[in-house]
Amino acid sequence: MTEKPRTGHEVIADHLRTLDASPGVYRMLNAASEVLYVGKARNLKARVSSYARPTGHSLRIQRMIAETCSMMFLTTRTEVEALLLEQNLIKQLKPRYNVLMRDDKSFPNILIGKEHPFPQIKKHRGAKKEKGSYFGPFASAGAVNRTLNQLQKVFLLRNCSDPMFESRTRPCLQFQIKRCSAPCVGRISEVEYAGLVADAERFLSGKSTTVQADLAKAMAEASAAMEFERAAALRDRIRALTAVQSAQGINPRGVTEADVIALHLDHGQACVQVFFIRANQSWGNRDFYPRTGSGAEEPEILEAFLTQFYDDKDPPRLILLSHPVENPDLVTQALSDRAGRKVELAVPLRGEKAELVENAARNARESLARRMAEGATQNRLLQGLAEAFGLDGPPQRIEIYDNAHIQGSDPVGGMVVAGPEGFVKSQYRKFNIRSEAGANSDDFGMMKEVLSRRFDRLLKEDPDRRTEAWPDLLLIDGGAGQVSAVAEILAEMGVDDIPVVGVAKGIDRDAGKEEFHRPGEAPFALQRNDPVLYFIQRLRDEAHRWANGFHRAKRAKAVGATPLDEIPGVGAARKRALLAHFGSAKAVARAALPDLMAVDGISEAMAETVYNFFHRD
């Protein structure tokens, strides 16, 4: 008879003999060696000894201790290192009893480049590798686009790419609608354009009043000199600047730079609202819904959120909070080290800062209420889906697949994911069809390729199905043939226990008359007004949108491609030079070696490379 593994306080107490007072990180594991919890400690021995006591724990900690069969330890030099290591492990391992921030997307910035005599203003996301002035973060791409739209009216900076700039011979539409000063064709000098750039940077740095005063003075001077057209243009710029300021929403006078972070907790569900204040302007807000670790309280949730949120972002000088965190000194030091300067955490109780926090808290409260209401509706739909398809329970992860091609050209596949919280866009995937199935317009073959690649990867990364990456239901856009193809490939891979349902258009390919196909069973339909039917249609339409969008992007890229893209050493600049000189890729292919050498930027060696590429035979 197999002896039941020991768990709980006794197992934890056994580890105390090998621990000392070093700072570090500990992991609690269950009988299946799954990580239940990751924690940090200034003194590992003291921290772990608190778990060895049988009393004095919250219900959440009691459950965690009862499941613990073993522990793992890593010592660090400082407690700050332990904090950072703890949060990295939490994001990597996703333990059940830890607080986990689930949305980790980067935030967009506005970039004014510095590598061109006439800098471009544009949206930027990701690593700040390009030389220039960065302003942000903004809460969303929409917030950036709205601000850029107004800034172009005010400062007339170009938004075209460098190749577009170099190829212009006359002003584009942006100049005609008074959103660009047309530096590409010399309508403004480099010195004057530099003045516009300086004004834009001053505005984005919070010095909007001086910019507005300068514009008003220039308008008055133009009017006095009877340059009424110029005065009218300056008036339009002042109006656009006023529109930018009014569109920013809350514009605090006493807070130049801060992130306002408020938490609302209700029945174990949490919403964290983050407002970005930069240059005395609100640059938008974003809500987050961290997993609360089976009953964590506000101080623990906020501390975990802060360390995970700023793991790959520069924190501002001031962070205003709705609740204190568990270890404010430790978090402050970690964030200051991350920023390379002092970062302050504050929980304001009165004044303008307290009003900012209250506004964020109200948004968090309202956002969580909406999400909980939507979640209840979503759960009812998932329960209805389980009943319609005879599933064991409401699916937690649904994967929906679709293919897109035009008579075999540019074939692609797409996968979208949905669950209790709606569509999970971070889990969407795209597939370039590599097999002959795409060229032959073989929908069955394309679906088999997509599913093979998807589950090959799953089996390599998580053969024991310990993570949430495994689906509970597969929805396929297609009928009996597609379902049979999918069932066949899943059976070959040994994962035939995952339910597969094909969604076919049905009679007259009319929405509302869909038929559903399952392996080895007769097709069936749902009532035309059934909410579950509408839900399935939304899932299928989202997969269709995702696959078609990828297909269009791939087709557009193929249209713009030329044989020059395949020549080693020919990048964007040389490609532009060759096309500008000869007019087309076909003319480049026919050119003699001396003609190629006559092109600016094409050396003798590169001319030989280009010539040999087109004359390999």
What is the residue-wise DSSP string for 596-611? HHTSTT--HHHHHHHH
Please tell us whether the domain made up of 258-369 is placed in CATH 3.30.420.340: yes
Residues in the chain: 617
d(CA 472, CA 478): 19
pLDDT in the model for residue 73: 94
Mean pLDDT of 551-565: 72
3-state secondary structure of 23: coil
Residue 104 has a pLDDT of 62
Residue 4 burial by Cβ neighbours in a 10 Å radius (0-12, 13-18, 19+) = exposed
Long-range contacts, 5-11 (Cβ 8 Å, 24+): 5/31, 5/69, 6/69, 7/31, 7/66, 7/67, 7/68, 7/69, 8/65, 8/66, 8/68, 9/51, 9/52, 9/53, 9/54, 9/65, 11/68, 11/69, 11/70, 11/71
pLDDT at 153: 80
Q: How far apart are CA 305 and CA 263, in angstroms?
A: 10
Q: Which stretches of 32-139 are assigned E, i.e. beta strand?
A: 35-41, 70-75, 99-100, 109-113, 121-124, 132-135
**pLDDT of 59 strictly over 90:** no
Per-domain boundaries in the chain: 9-97, 109-247, 258-369, 398-558, 563-614
pLDDT for res 245: 55
Provide mean pLDDT across the span 129-143: 84
- Does 398-558 match 9-97 at the fold level? no
> Residue 324: pLDDT above 50?
yes
Range in 183-192, 388-397, 463-472, 500-509 the model is least confident about: 500-509
In this predicted structure, what is the pLDDT of residue 249? 47
pLDDT at residue 613 in the model: 84
- The answer to whether the beta carbons of residues 445 and 436 sit under 8 Å apart is yes
Report pLDDT for 3. Answer: 55
Give the domain 9-97 fold. GIY-YIG endonuclease (3.40.1440)
Contact 400, 539 (CB under 8 A): yes
Tell me what pLDDT residue 564 has.
Answer: 79
pLDDT at 4 > cutoff 50: yes
When mean pLDDT is compared across 42-51, 55-64, 579-588, the lowest value belongs to 579-588
Task: Please tell me the distance from the alpha carbon of residue 140 to that of residue 198, in angstroms, as a whole number.
Answer: 25
Q: What is the pLDDT of residue 574?
A: 84
Give the per-residue pLDDT at 165. 87
Mean predicted confidence (pLDDT) in 152-173: 85
In the predicted model, is pLDDT for residue 512 greater than 70?
no
Spatial distance between the Cα atoms of 423 and 541, rounded to a whole number of angstroms: 12
What does the pLDDT read at residue 68? 92
| Angle, helix 208-224 to helix 228-247, in steps of 10 degrees | 160
Q: What's the one-letter identity of residue 245? A: Q
- pLDDT band of residue 353 (cuts 50, 70, 90) is very high
CATH number of 398-558: 3.30.420.340, 3.30.930.10, 3.10.20.30, 3.40.50.720?
A: 3.30.420.340
Asked if the model's pLDDT at residue 588 lies above 90, the reply is: no
The CATH fold assigned to 563-614 is DNA polymerase; domain 1 (1.10.150)
Q: What is the pLDDT of residues 395-412, one digit of tens each?
A: 999 999 998 877 657 788
The pair of three-digit structure tokens given for residue 41, joined into one six-digit string: 């400690």
Of 228, 260, 506, the closest CA to residue 360 belongs to 260
Query: Tokens 């070959």 map to which residue?
Result: 492
Give 252-268 pLDDT, tens digit per residue: 778 888 999 999 998 88
Both tokens assigned to 268? 């174990």
Q: What is the mean pLDDT of the chain?
A: 85
Q: How far apart are CA 197 and CA 156, in angstroms?
A: 9
CB of 443 closer than 8 Å to CB of 587 = no
Q: What are phi and psi of 90, to 5 degrees?
A: -65, -45
- Note the pLDDT of residue 27: 95
pLDDT bracket for residue 244 (50, 70, 90): low
pLDDT mean over 430-440: 79
Reported as a single tens digit per residue, the pLDDT across 274-312 is 999 887 788 888 899 998 877 788 999 999 999 999 988
Q: pLDDT at position 511, please?
A: 58
**Percent of the residues in the chain that have a pLDDT greater than 90, as a whole number:** 34
